[in-house]
Structure 1
Amino acid sequence: MGKKRRIIVFPKSHGDDDSASPSTSASASASFVTSTRYEKPIHYILKIQSFSLLKEAVASSPCQRFESQKFYAGGSEWKLALYPNGDRRRDVSDHISLYLVRVENNILSTTSEVNVVFTFLVYDTLRGKYLTVQDEKMRQFSATKREWGIEKLLPLNTFSDASNGFLVDDCCVFGVDIFVMNCNVEKGRYDCSQVEIGKRNQASFPCT
């Protein structure tokens, strides 16, 4: 049977450029495709064994977010940046915010760019499958634009309701698929091919 899919429109930006104007940044309406699947995330799994402890720790920190350990995919190093209380930089307080961050290193230069299509996943413990939220657009990561994501991934009340399966016994699981594209522009069109996708990585945020 095919996957059921629906489009959700998010009205606010989900890049990391706060200074850009709405007409030139990613703040225009962005479309995301949601679906469900049983397969695990391809590249990274973040297990949080005490979400309430993480919320408390993040609430008292200056950056207001939790960053995962580094993982490798498609020739680059990455991290997930999770805002369990919402991304207050963009006046979000009632949703989970999640971003994919390209890690800076000595090799990265101002001309180094990576084109990526990514999908975030949230595990439904009760049904044994993942909610997937895919950004339909290919995003370009560079030295000046290191993160893209979804500032309204899930409403906090939906996420916190145990009957939905995302937060059960204070535990939850997030993941990401990263598809790096090699693209050439010819006659105004993108000719893209997927490159090496890497291996699955896994980490946990412990409750003690």
Structure 2
Amino acid sequence: MGACASSSRGRSNQGKNQKKSSRVAAVPFTPAAQAAAVAASPKMEEKSSFKWRIDGFSSLLDKQKGWTNSGYFEIKGLKWYLQLNLKDQKRGDKRDYVSLMLALSKTSDLKSDIVVEASFKLLIFDQAYGKHKEHEFSHHFQTEENKRSGVSCMIPVETLKEASSGFIIGDSCVFGVELISLTTAKANHSSEVHVQKTNGFSAREAYTWVIDDFLALKGRCYSPEFEIGGCKWYLTMYPSGIDDSGEFLSLYLHMSKPEASFQRSGMTVELSLSIKDQVTCNRNTMTGQCQFVATEEGDGWGWAKFVEVKSVKDQYLVKGSCLIHADVAIIGSSE
């Protein structure tokens, strides 16, 4: 199961199979002025931190191997998120390990020639004795292929689960990152999320988006809104890819703008997105675990390279029609 990729898109229109011919910039969410300000600051030494508290932690321990993403957080004007894997393995070792990574979000909108050089600590917090598990790293964040810090096998899962370790208290576990230093340069030339406890996974619910004329779609397309777990959602699809290259179809699930009382909350979700034909149910499916935070911009998670456009035309269209299927299970809510 691969990690979800982020997509930040405002939603200006709704409705089934809506079309928008104008191209949308790949990362429009962060203002260009903010990126320019970051690039203009050659070095920032102050420490910043982020904590990710997950209650109902046994729900994640029981799941199959895969990555779970935190919500976005901001450090030094850039957007980041953490990625957690509780079933990682080292070569020659059959034990499951806790792995943690820091990732720079595409919404940070850095120019391709800007490198973010960061020194930071990844942490698992000992909630009983204060003897936190920490690994210190340095990493150059820049391109899509290099926006993640690399896998860190922090400790064996069996060690994490030991009652005497202090890492899990009341089925709650806390992960985090602490920035030591950050520098921006040209290439070669404490906020906290609290995921409330739930009684295991919610009932799985699904939504199917019927697309009658796929070949006529241009640009970004929106599904109708639908309700799962008491929240409103919608899908966005880029038939020629979010980069408009024509090689891959991009597909994302978004949480719609909530009421004011729900504005700053979010939830951890296991999602599965599929494309299939309407006769044989031949399908392509991607799954992941991600934290959705409800915002006015409608932040979403999904896959930029969901399926090759050629495969869609050859395998999933029946008389020009196909189905997009979203399968969602809510693990917990956040405050």
TM-score range, shorter chain: 0.5 to 0.7
Larger radius of gyration: 2
Deviations 1:99-132 (CA, angstroms, capped at 9, x unpaired): 0000002733322310000101221122135332
Residue 36 of structure 1 is matched in structure 2 by: none
Runs of at least 5 residues in structure 1 that lack an aligned partner in the other structure: 1-40, 186-199
Closer, same or farther: CA 133–52 of 1 in aligned 2, 3 Å: same
Runs of at least 5 residues in structure 2 that lack an aligned partner in the other structure: 1-46, 199-335
Partner amino acid, structure 1, of 2:84: L
Closer, same or farther: CA 177–157 of 1 in aligned 2, 3 Å: same
Partner amino acid, structure 1, of 2:170: D
Deviations 1:121-156 (CA, angstroms, capped at 9, x unpaired): 221122135332212xx3100123000144311111
TM-score in terms of structure 2 length: 0.40
Residues 86, 92 of structure 1: 8 Å contact kept: no
Query: In structure 2, how many angstroms separate the alpha carbons of the residues matched to 1:184 and 1:67?
Result: 29
TM-score in terms of structure 1 length: 0.62
Deviations 1:59-90 (CA, angstroms, capped at 9, x unpaired): 28xxx1110010111231100000122269xx
Kindly state the Cα deviation for residue 92 of structure 1 after the two structures are TM-superposed.
Answer: 7.8
Residue 180 of structure 1 is matched in structure 2 by: 182
Closer, same or farther: CA 42–162 of 1 in aligned 2, 3 Å: farther
Query: In structure 2, how many angstroms separate the alpha carbons of the residues matched to 1:131 and 1:177?
Result: 12
Query: In structure 2, how many angstroms separate the alpha carbons of the residues matched to 1:110 and 1:73?
Result: 20
Is 1:207 the counterpart of 2:197? The answer is yes
Is 1:45 the counterpart of 2:51? The answer is yes
Query: In structure 2, how many angstroms separate the alpha carbons of the residues matched to 1:182 and 1:53?
Result: 39
Map 1:73-152 onto structure 2 (within 5 A). 73-86=75-88, 94-105=96-107, 107-135=109-137, 138-143=138-143, 144-152=145-153
Secondary structure, counterpart of 1:81 in structure 2: strand
Query: In structure 2, how many angstroms separate the alpha carbons of the residues matched to 1:133 and 1:59?
Result: 25
Partner amino acid, structure 1, of 2:59: L
Residue 31 of structure 1 is matched in structure 2 by: none
Query: In structure 1, how many angstroms separate the alpha carbons of the residues matched to 2:107 and 2:184?
Result: 21
Residues 84, 97 of structure 1: 8 Å contact kept: yes
Partner amino acid, structure 2, of 1:139: H
Deviations 1:21-40 (CA, angstroms, capped at 9, x unpaired): xxxxxxxxxxxxxxxxxxxx
Secondary structure, counterpart of 1:157 in structure 2: helix
Query: In structure 2, how many angstroms separate the alpha carbons of the residues matched to 1:153 and 1:45?
Result: 16
Is 1:153 the counterpart of 2:154? The answer is yes
Residue 172 of structure 2 is matched in structure 1 by: 171
Residues 74, 80 of structure 2: 8 Å contact kept: yes
Identity of aligned residues (%): 25
Secondary structure, counterpart of 2:60 in structure 1: helix
Partner amino acid, structure 2, of 1:142: Q
